[in-house]
Structure formats: structure tokens, C-alpha cells
Chains A and B, each alone.
Chain A
Amino acid sequence: MLHKSRRSPKLLAGFDITAFACILAVVILAIMIAKSVSDGVHSPVAVDPPWEGHAVSMASALREDAITVRVADGGQVWLGGDWLDADSLPLKIAYRLKDPNVERTVYIVADKKAPLGSVKVVLECVRSAGITRVVFLVNRWKN
């Protein structure tokens, strides 16, 4: 006579997915906080850059250590999250360039209504800091 094993309908071992859900929730919160913090650092002032049709992709502008200068429509200048006057800009850029890993390119986000004169002041400061490569970050039309 064969002995037929009978399994209990009860679950023998259960995977506790509550802990998994908690980890996912924490990951989402971390992503949201990191994104809001990084947006806060990179967008301290409302700048509306112009829209262009042939701008090229600039993946390196998304680097954490990219030197990004913002020029508002009133001519105010921001380096990263810090508002500063143009006189201190060369020193601040030179300080950032002490890091040998920093790309020697300055990314300028200028408002479309910013007077060119204020952009030129920034360019002069960038040049006096020893940088010749500049990228104007713009929005791109979807073709």
C-alpha cells in the first residue's frame, strides 16, 4: 500500500513582501528628495532660455560638477545655487577649476530676455578665469 503524503493547505513558508514594499517606498522617497534638491540647486532662479531648432545634445551638462552660470532676465548672475555679483565670478570659477576632474567648459543658461550686455559681462569673467569653451544651454524644438 502506497503511502500518499498529504500536504496541508496551509502555507508552509511565506515571503514577507511588506519589507520589500517598505524598501521600494524608501527608494522612491530618496529619488524624489534627490531630484527636488538637485532642481533646487540648479534652478535657483526662474530662467527661460530661448528655443532653438538645431541645438545639440549636451550630456555632460548633467554632470554633478558641471560649472553652470545662470543669467536672469534682469541680468542677475547665479553660479550653481549662489547668487553673486559679476566681480566675484572669476574667483568662484577659478576655485571650482582647482578640481582637476572638472570639465573646463562653462554652461550658461541665459534668459531669452536677458540683455546681451549682461551675458557679455559673464563671458568676460569666464575668459578671465582662463576658460574659452562655453555652451549656451537652450530648449530645443521637437522636429
Chain B
Amino acid sequence: MSFSMAGGGARGPQINVTPLIDVLLTLIIMFMLVVAMDPEYGEKVQIPQPPKDSKSVPEPEGTVVIQVVWTSKDAPPTVKINQEDVRFEDLEFRLGQIYLKRAEKVAFVRGDADVNFLYVADVIDLAHHAGVQRIGLLTQGQELRRE
């Protein structure tokens, strides 16, 4: 009487990997969705270039400069359109009035160095929503030239 050990016998226990594949596929889809649904948002601004010749070019008439003026620590800054004081809540409405009849929708934003960036970002955002198409952010050197 002989016994054969090769093949024919019952196979050993096997792991059912089908649910594992389902989980992995779901994870892949979730990762892809998370990556795809994480876009960046931004506010476009421009940095005005200084005049090429050293002579100071006079500011064009009708230029709108929005100033964000530091008041005190932890207090919101005041806002001026040119020299006119404007409440922060009225800024968008006032800018809308100004740019309603203008063909060139350009504004400049100037802020004090101590002002939190949050307020400047708010001003840029409101100006864009009020219809300003191009916003120039005045830098340190340009402010000095203007003063």
C-alpha cells in the first residue's frame, strides 16, 4: 500500500484578497479626489515699475490710491481713497461709484509697514469685486519716491 504526497490533496487556507482590492481602489479614488479638489485661490496684483529716467513723472490725474493707515496695535486700520476717509464697510460701494464711469479700472494700494497683511488683502479683494481690474501695490521704494 502506497501513499502519494504530490497534489491531489486539499489546498491550504487562502486569504480572500478581493475586499482588500476594493479598499485599495476606494483609497486611490479618495486620494485622487482630495488632490483634485484642493485648488489654490489668489488675488492678482502688479508691482508698478519705476520710471526709466531719473526725473520724477507726475502722477496722472485721476489716479486712485487706496491707503491703509495704521492706527494702533490690535485696532483695524483706517482706509482712505486718495485723501478721502472711507469706512471699511463702505469701501466696496465707494470704489464701485468711482469706477462706474471709468474706462481704465486701475487702482494703487499703499499701506503702512505695521499694518497686518490681512487688511491689505481685504482691500485688494474688495477692490477687485468693485470692478477694479488692475491693482498696483506700492512698495517701500516707490513710497519713498512719492513722499
Q: Which of A28, A55, A124 contacts B31 (CB 8 A)?
A: A28
Interface contact A133-B46, CB-CB below 8 Å = yes
1/0 per position for B105-137, CB-CB distance to A under 8 A?
Answer: 000000111111110111011101100000001
Interface contact B24-A25, CB-CB below 8 Å = yes
Interface contact A136-B124, CB-CB below 8 Å = yes
Interface contact B46-A17, CB-CB below 8 Å = no
Interface contact A24-B42, CB-CB below 8 Å = no
Using a Cβ cutoff of 8 Å, how many contacts connect chains A and B? 140
Chain B residues lying within 8 Å of A50, measured Cβ to Cβ, are 117-118, 121-122
Any chain A CB within 8 A of the CB of B5? Answer: no
Chain B interface residue count: which class? 35 or more
Chain B residues lying within 8 Å of A35, measured Cβ to Cβ, are 31, 35
Question: With contacts A18-B17, A52-B122 known, is A132 near B111, CB below 8 A?
Answer: no
Question: With contacts A21-B21, A24-B25 known, is A116 near B43, CB below 8 A?
Answer: no
Give the size of the chain A interface in residues (CB under 8 angstroms): 50
Any chain B CB within 8 A of the CB of A119? Answer: yes
Chain A residues lying within 8 Å of B21, measured Cβ to Cβ, are 17, 20-21, 24
Chain A residues lying within 8 Å of B2, measured Cβ to Cβ, are none
Question: With contacts A25-B24, A116-B111, A120-B139 known, is A132 near B47, CB below 8 A?
Answer: yes
Interface contact A107-B42, CB-CB below 8 Å = yes
Chain B residues lying within 8 Å of A91, measured Cβ to Cβ, are none
Interface contact B113-A120, CB-CB below 8 Å = yes
Any chain A CB within 8 A of the CB of B20? Answer: yes
Interface contact B17-A112, CB-CB below 8 Å = no
Interface contact A57-B41, CB-CB below 8 Å = yes
Chain A residues lying within 8 Å of B100, measured Cβ to Cβ, are none
Interface contact A116-B120, CB-CB below 8 Å = yes
Any chain B CB within 8 A of the CB of A12? Answer: no
